[in-house]
Every structure is written in C-alpha cells, then in structure tokens.
C-alpha cells in the first residue's frame, strides 16, 4: 500500500503500527528528515516512552536538545548507543536532570563491531522488558554503517535486529540516505522493513507498507 502526505501534517504516521520497523529514505541533513525522526520517536505520550537511540553521526547531547524542543518533556527512559566518532562527545556529556530521570550513554568505539552493537541493544531491551512502557528506537544511520560493513553483513545484522525489535514490540526507524548509496543497496535493505518513508522532490513523504 502506498500513501502520500505533505510533511508536517502528521498523516504519514497513521501508517506506522506499533512494533513496526520503518525505513526513512531521505537526505541526512534535511529539516523534514529531522522532523519525521522526532515524530516517529513520539508516537505515544513522550513522558511515558522508553527511547533508544543508536547514533553514528550525531552526539547524544544534540539529540537530547532536539527531543526536548520537540516533545517538551523528558521520556521515561532514554538510552544512547554512541558509535565511533560520536563517542568522544558522549564521554564528556552530563546527564539531563529533572523528575529523577536522565539518559544513559553506552559507547562503542569500533563502528564495524556489529556483534558488540547487537549485544548492547539486546541488553537494553532485556532491561526495559521489566516495565510496561512503549519503546521507540532510532538508528542513525545505515548510511554511516555501510561505510564500515559490506551490504551482506549489514543485511544479516538488520534481519536479526528487526526481528528482535518486533519480538519486543519496539517501534523502530532506520535512516538511509538514498543519494549516498546505489539502487541495489536501497532495494536490498528496503525488503527488510514493514514501512518505508521516502521523501520526494517536493518534500512530501511517500509511505509504503507491506
């Protein structure tokens, strides 16, 4: 099924079901991409969510600032897995305070260590399985990950990870810049996802579901 809605009106989000894995096909540094990311991370009441953020390209502190500006309140739990270059800023980041809540930052220095990344994510999901709050996740980004691992390796990793997210009822989205990789890569990875958000030339989201 394919639907189309202008960025900002919220209608593309209607296609996202709880526990779905979503591929966001859009330029990395683009305002509509950032807005869609934050919308997908606030599908429920933000203060009651567990928020999991895997970031290769952005520092946790900048993600937190954007979250607070968008949601206006802190989530129930926030966990970052900061990979590669972003680990430098993560190590110096102080926690957000207020209502006894804050974020936890795990660092992974080797961006190609998919086994280590999978273990860290599994540990977070296991920890959060003890509470009944909905969990949302952002993987930013597959574009960066593909610089450190070949397509076949990334495909196998995502096949396992999306299955793990589905089993834990996590609503997760993954960023991929289609202009930064070839069409075969986009086609191969697209097949793994329940829903695909693709930004067209008019900055409108074309949404495909299976």
| pLDDT for 206 beyond 50 | yes
What is the extent of the structural domain holding 25? 2-55+109-209
Tokens of 59: 């520092």
Is 121 a domain residue? yes
pTM here is 0.90
The 10 Å Cβ neighbour count of residue 131 is: 12
Domain count, the chain: 1
Tell me if 85 is assigned to some domain: no
Residue 86 lies in a domain: no
pLDDT tens for 125-158 read 999 999 999 999 999 999 999 999 999 999 999 9
In a domain, 164, yes or no: yes
Q: For position 51, which CATH number holds?
A: 3.40.50.300
Condensed to tens digits (0 to 9), the pLDDT of residues 94-117 reads 444 333 356 789 999 999 999 999
Q: Note whether residue 68 is domain-resident.
A: no
Domain membership flag for residue 150: yes
| pLDDT at residue 22 tops 70 | yes
Parallel, antiparallel, or unpaired for β 135-140 and 50-55? parallel
Decide if 91 is inside a domain.
no
The answer to the question of residue 180 being in a domain is: yes
Closest CA to 20 of 130, 187, 136: 136
Residue 11 pLDDT greater than 80, yes or no: no
Predicted confidence band of residue 15 (pLDDT cuts 50, 70, 90): confident
Q: Tell me how many degrees the CA angle 118-123-125 measures, rounded to the nearest 5.
A: 95
């Amino acid at each position: 099924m394919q639907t189309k809605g202008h960025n900002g009106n919220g209608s593309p989000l209607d296609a996202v079901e709880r526990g779905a894995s979503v591929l966001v096909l859009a330029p990395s540094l683009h305002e509509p991409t950032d807005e869609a990311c934050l919308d997908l991370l606030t599908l429920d009441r933000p203060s009651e969510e567990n928020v999991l953020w895997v970031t290769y390209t952005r520092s946790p502190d900048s993600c937190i600032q954007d979250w607070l500006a968008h949601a206006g309140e802190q989530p129930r739990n926030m966990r970052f897995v900061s990979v590669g270059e972003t680990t430098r800023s993560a190590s110096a980041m102080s926690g957000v305070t207020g209502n006894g809540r804050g974020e936890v930052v795990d660092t992974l220095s080797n961006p190609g260590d998919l086994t280590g990344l999978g273990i860290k994510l599994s540990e977070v999901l296991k920890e959060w399985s003890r509470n009944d709050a909905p969990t949302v996740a952002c993987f930013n980004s597959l574009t960066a990950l593909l610089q450190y691992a070949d397509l076949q390796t990334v495909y196998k990793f995502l096949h396992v990870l999306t299955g793990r997210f589905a089993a834990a009822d996590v609503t997760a989205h993954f960023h991929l810049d289609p202009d930064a990789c070839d069409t075969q890569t986009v086609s191969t990875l697209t097949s793994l996802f329940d829903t695909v958000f693709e930004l067209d030339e008019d900055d409108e989201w074309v949404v495909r579901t299976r």
